[in-house]
Amino acid sequence: MPFKLQELRQAYTAYQEFLGKNPPARHARYIFPFFVGSYFTYRKVDVRRVVAIAGAIDEIPSYLDVGCGYGDFLEKVRGYLPQATGIEKEGGIFEFARKPDYVEIAGAEQCPAVDVAFVGWMEPGTDFRSRIAKAAKCVITTFDAGGQCGINGGCEYDEFDFEQVAWWRTPSWIDVNAELMNRYYTPSLTVERNEQLTKLRSAHNFWYVYARPDLAERVRAGLKAHLAAENANDCYDFESVLDECGFGYMEELSTLTKARKLWEVMFD
């Protein structure tokens, strides 16, 4: 269900109060992700992967970010694919920021035919997969472990005759937020207790890549070729917060049982 605007207004007031306290640079995106970040945490490598996947489908691929919010991730993708656009159902959110020309106020139900649809973190219960599956050749989606999208908690596209090509794990903003709160905003925590809590850190966000069966091998090959030369040193400023909080590129988290290395791409 799209946001309730009244709740968003309250959150925006809290965001402004937070900024008034001159917090450490780059913390805001992990505390107020909707206004200045995204609900999934990303690095430049994620943007480059998404761009490489799109490039495997077409030289100039059409790309649509569905439910893009203010378009934080979309803006980064446009650095490589200037033709990329977004749709956002709730026009009221632009009460707090200017709407970019490349974002249209429209529901996913009106999704046009595209090479790639990106669906970054939908609220639990929101499910427009059947429309996206009709419109897109490839779907890249991020969601939290534990189930979100459909009535039965599914975000997958297998049931719409898509093939899963690859997946990887990153933290959600909540995972990073918990670390930041312990380190900077809970003065009563001792160093020892903080270290104990750090060992419990997890990463709950998954990125799944789906393609129509006739394109799956092409997308897989394109992503593999890209990964062979992936360069994690080419990064955004805000990634320093992830490093500092123990969510490094290829960091292995002891609390995980499968795909323990963050950002490691799985093709199984």
Ligand X SMILES: C[S@@+](CC[C@H](N)C(=O)[O-])C[C@H]1O[C@@H](n2cnc3c(N)ncnc32)[C@H](O)[C@@H]1O
| Residues in contact with ligand X by the rule CB under 6 A | 2-3, 33, 38-40, 66-69, 87-90, 107-108, 120-123, 126, 128
Cβ-based nearer residue to ligand X, 122 or 176: 122
Q: Closest separation between CB of residue 188 and ligand X, Å?
A: 31
Cβ-based nearer residue to ligand X, 38 or 62: 38
Cβ-based nearer residue to ligand X, 111 or 215: 111
Cβ-based nearer residue to ligand X, 130 or 194: 130
Q: How would you class 190 by CB atoms within 10 Å of its CB: exposed for 0-12, middle for 13-18, buried for 19 or more?
A: exposed
Q: Closest separation between CB of residue 189 and ligand X, Å?
A: 29
d(CA 106, CA 178): 33
Is residue 120 within 8 A of residue 40, CB to CB? The reply is yes
| DSSP per-residue codes, 6-27 | HHHHHHHHHHHHHHHT-PPTT-
Cβ-based nearer residue to ligand X, 128 or 168: 128
Q: Closest separation between CB of residue 105 and ligand X, Å?
A: 9
Q: Closest separation between CB of residue 106 and ligand X, Å?
A: 7
Cβ-closest position to ligand X: 67
Cβ-based nearer residue to ligand X, 51 or 87: 87
Cβ-based nearer residue to ligand X, 41 or 182: 41
Is residue 261 within 8 A of residue 250, CB to CB? The reply is yes
∠ CA 170-175-14, rounded to 5°: 125
Is residue 33 within 8 A of residue 173, CB to CB? The reply is yes
Q: Closest separation between CB of residue 254 and ligand X, Å?
A: 27
Q: Closest separation between CB of residue 68 and ligand X, Å?
A: 5
For residue 252, report the phi and psi dihedrals to the nearest 5 degrees: -100, 125
To which H or E segment does residue 227 belong?
A: helix 213-227
Q: Closest separation between CB of residue 98 and ligand X, Å?
A: 16
Q: Collapsing DSSP states into helix, strand and coil, what is residue 120?
A: strand
| DSSP per-residue codes, 128-183 | -HHHHHHHEEEEEEEEETT--SSTTS----GGGTPEEEEEEEE-BHHHHHHHHHHH
**CA dist 23 → 16, 26, 244 (Å):** 11, 8, 16
